[in-house]
Amino acid sequence: MAKVKVQVGIVMGSDSDWPLVKSASETLNEFGIGHEVRVISAHRTPEVACEYAGTAAKRGLQVIIAAAGGAAHLGGVLAAHTMLPVIGIPVKGGAMNGMDALLATLQMPKGIPVATVTLGSAGPANAAILAAQILGLGDAALRRKLAKYKKDLKKKVSKGDANVQADLAAN
């Protein structure tokens, strides 16, 4: 079996983020997108973060997903050291229940964009889907997979509506 080309880097600030972030990896697997996963802290290992981002394109990455809680500077630090798109996942927790992470990920200075997805369990999957959409710009097969994914979402909603309507009719 041929090895899948690694195109996406998933980076989290702490291994405690993995239970949440794991769904990004699983979603990328569903689309057949090769990826790597690392724990790198913007504050505790800043030189590693800079090197990771600075060498990402040379290593074949095309998108970086960065998950961080608290001060959540990881996405911005990575974005400052690469030309690749960076998608930030703010992680809930701490005194502000993730609001600090959300604001830190969103509030980037001009020229250092970090696309930001939602807090909570939908964030990592949405980050992976956004990465797939970015990669799909140059990959017709991946665009077809994304189109099927969206079609399946519509079917799920229609089925849910039918179930609710049937329950209402029975009462």
pLDDT at site 26:
98
Residue 70: per-residue pLDDT = 84
Q: Are 93 and 81 in contact (CB under 8 A)?
A: no
Give the chain's end-to-end CA distance (angstroms, integer): 54
> What pLDDT is recorded for position 126?
98
Could you tell me which of 81, 85, 119 has the C-alpha nearest to residue 9? 85
Strands (E), the chain: 6-12, 34-39, 63-68, 86-90, 115-116
Report the alpha-carbon distance of residue 133 to residue 145 in Å, rounded: 10
Q: Give me the pLDDT at residue 1, please.
A: 55
Specify the pLDDT at position 94: 81
Q: Which two tokens stand for residue 71?
A: 């001060």
Query: Cα dihedral sign for 138, 142, 144, 150?
Result: negative
Spatial separation of the C-alpha atoms in residues 60 and 62, rounded to whole Å = 6
Q: Is residue 88 helix, strand or coil?
A: strand
Sheet with strand 115-116: strands edge to edge: 34-39, 6-12, 63-68, 86-90, 115-116
Residue 108: how many CA atoms within 13 Å on its side-chain side? 21
Per-residue pLDDT in tens (0 to 9) along the chain, 171 residues: 567 899 999 999 999 999 999 999 999 999 999 999 999 999 999 999 999 999 999 999 999 999 999 888 999 999 999 999 999 999 998 889 999 999 999 999 999 999 999 999 999 999 999 999 999 999 999 999 999 999 999 999 999 999 999 999 998
pLDDT value of position 151: 97
**What burial letters (b/e) apply to 35-59, b meaning 16+ CB within 10 Å?**
bbbebbbbeeeeeebbebbeebeee
